[in-house]
Structure formats: structure tokens, C-alpha cells
Amino acid sequence: MTFTLNDDQRMLKDTARDFFREQAPVTRLRKQRDEKKNGRDPDLWREIAALGLAGVIIPEEYGGAGLGYVALGAVLEESGRTLVASPLHSSALAGASALLLAGTDAQKQEWLPKIASGEVIATIAIDEGAHHAPGKSKLKFEGGKLTGSKQYVADGHIADVIIVAGGDALYLVKADDAGVKRRELVTADSRARRTSRLKARRLRR
């Protein structure tokens, strides 16, 4: 079986390829690593969002392009060719998907347009240890308050909105809430990027 992109998907893929080659080559990643920017390149992210790449899967009613996951996959493939250091995966894919699948109408109206425009960076926090075991979450939600910690949260140190997984539920947490504590983690493959460790202490949701 042969898989072929349609015209819109092909056009988006070509646009992404040309942009990443010209504006985000591997040399930009290396410079970011050497200058210890730790995944922070707001100028590049603004340019990516201006092209509409932050809102590929977000429906038009929320300010996105509504082109779906195949189209976003094509964009991510091109970003991988030059090792683009951006929150494209964590925000445009993971964060946006979580909101689309589980967000309330009010949350979608508030946050999806901001994700699509690049005004807000979103991410999803799942793991609490070195192994992926979402079914063993120790996150607690009691009395309207969230308590617990997550580790290796992609772009968690620069995210504005964090979708936190716990048990069979997802919780939307604003990163600037008083109960949220963030610490950058340096891992073997992220000298130019960073993950983070998050703690939420009696955070009211």
C-alpha cells in the first residue's frame, strides 16, 4: 500500500522543509547548546507560529488550520531533519491533543487559540519516575486541590500551560500558579534542550 500526501499536506511539508533549512539549521541548535539557552529560542518559536505550524491540528474555529495529524506529522518530520529546538512537539502535538481530547469547551476556547498563535506553550506531564508507568501515578486530587510531582516533562521549564495526567483524569495547570514548582533537568540527550521536574503542592484546580 502506497501512502501519498494530498496537495495541502504536501504544500505544508514543503513550506516547513524550506523554513527549517533556512532558519533553523543544525548550526542554530549547536549555537543554542553552546550559549546554554536551554531550549529557549523565542524568536524562532514566533517565526514557527507565524507560519501556522503551531496550530496544524487545531480546528479553524479555535484559530488553527485544522489540517490533522498527517499534516503535522509531515511538519515534525521536516523539523527532525535539522534537529529544530522548539516546543513544536510538546505544544502543537501533545498539549493541543490533550486539550482537544479531554478539555472542556471553556478550556478549548481559552487555550487553543493561544496555542495556535504561539502565544502560549503547552505540554503534557505524565511520568513520575525513570520508567513510563502512568497507571501507577501517585498524584492526588482531594478537596479541589492537586498534589504530586512529575518528571521529564518536555519543555516543562518554558511551558505556560501543563496538562497533568493522574489516574484516569487530566488536569489543566497554569505554570505560573503559586503552587507550581519547576526545576530544569539535564539529561544525556538534552544539552541543547531541557526537560523539567514539576511539583504541585495543594494546588487548587
Q: Which fold has domain 7-117?
A: Butyryl-Coa Dehydrogenase, subunit A; domain 1 (1.10.540)
Amino acid at 198: L
pTM here is 0.87
pLDDT of residue 152: 87
Q: Report the topology of domain 122-204.
A: Butyryl-CoA Dehydrogenase, subunit A; domain 2 (2.40.110)
Instruction: Kindly list the domain boundaries of the chain, sorted by start residue.
Output: 7-117, 122-204
- 28 against 114, higher pLDDT: 114
pLDDT at 194 over 80: no
pLDDT at 142 over 90: no
Of the pLDDT bands very low, low, confident and very high (cuts 50, 70, 90), residue 151 is confident
pLDDT, one tens digit per residue, over 28-54 is 888 877 776 665 789 999 999 999 999
